[in-house]
């Protein structure tokens, strides 16, 4: 969603929910993924947690169910995660960082329209692949202030990355200088996020052709930013 956003100005710029977690310090845990076996077990738990959260929802999901799905002992869970809340927030981090991170354009691809299109395509396809867990994340954000806060901070950081790209386009004479960059970034980024939710997570999801949806979003972006009459490639 947005202008390629130069990898959302690196992953480190995006707030991470699991940093500063108010649980047991990691130094007191064993095997937190430093060995290949530890990484494999941790990944199994994360994969299982995703299945259980999508199937049962956050409130009904239990650590015991996650362990059963992963095929590991109940005690092993606490080697890697403090609680159900922590493993959920770890999933949120992984999914949303991927959703908001777009690979930088190649040296030979400086076409602003193609950068916008590539970012829109990445967001829609990533959202579609994660629609089930995104539904749960939206629900939890309404009852867990920490999840809501981290999501808000992450979206705001992303919007500022978009804002910087808009300012650069204006400086390069490629975008309308009368457009207010911060408001445009918030409005256009929010539009893509809502559009994805409507397509993939509405009670009656719209049956949309992905290519048509991507081209429509891209056309709205370039028109809103006044990037001349250079439309997306056919």
User: What are the structural domains of the chain?
Assistant: 5-15+93-225 (1.10.357.10), 26-81 (1.10.10.60)
Local confidence pLDDT in tens for the 234 residues of the chain: 444 444 344 333 444 444 433 333 444 444 455 688 888 999 999 999 999 999 999 999 999 999 999 999 988 999 999 999 999 999 998 898 888 886 655 544 578 999 999 999 999 999 999 999 999 998 999 998 888 888 888 888 889 989 999 999 999 999 999 999 999 999 999 999 999 988 888 766 556 678 899 999 999 999 999 996 444 443
Q: DSSP string covering the chain, please?
A: --S-HHHHH-GGGS--TTTT-SSS-GGGSS-SS-SHHHHHHHHHHHHHHHHHHHHHHHHH--HHHHHHHHT--HHHHHHH-SSHHHHHHHHHHHHHHHHH--PPPPTT---HHHHHHHHHHHHHHHHHHTHHHHHHHHHHHTT-HHHHHHHHHHHHHHHHHHHHHHHHHHHTT-S-TTS-HHHHHHHHHHHHHHHHHHHHHSSS-----HHHHHHHHHHHHHHHHT-TT-----
What's the pTM? 0.76
């Amino acid at each position: 969603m947005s202008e390629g956003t130069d990898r959302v100005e690196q992953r480190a710029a995006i707030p991470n929910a699991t940093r500063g977690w108010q649980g047991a310090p990691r130094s007191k845990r064993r095997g937190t993924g430093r060995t290949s076996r530890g990484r494999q077990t941790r990944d199994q738990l994360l994969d299982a947690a995703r299945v259980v959260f999508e199937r049962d929802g956050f409130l009904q999901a239990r650590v015991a169910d996650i362990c059963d799905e992963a095929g590991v002992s109940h005690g092993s869970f606490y080697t890697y995660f403090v609680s159900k809340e922590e493993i959920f927030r770890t999933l949120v981090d992984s999914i949303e960082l991927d959703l908001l991170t777009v690979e930088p354009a190649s040296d030979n691809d400086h076409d602003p329209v193609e950068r916008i299109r590539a970012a829109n395509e990445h967001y829609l396809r990533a959202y579609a692949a994660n629609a089930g867990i995104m539904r749960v994340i939206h629900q939890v954000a309404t009852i867990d202030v920490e999840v809501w806060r981290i999501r808000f901070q992450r979206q705001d950081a992303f919007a500022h990355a978009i804002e910087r790209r808009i300012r650069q386009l204006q400086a390069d004479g490629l975008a309308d200088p009368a457009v207010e960059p911060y408001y445009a970034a918030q409005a256009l980024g929010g539009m893509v996020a809502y559009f994805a939710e409507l397509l993939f997570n509405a009670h009656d999801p719209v049956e949309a052709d992905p290519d048509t949806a991507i081209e429509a979003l891209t056309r709205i972006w370039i028109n809103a930013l006044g990037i001349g009459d250079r439309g997306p490639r056919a």
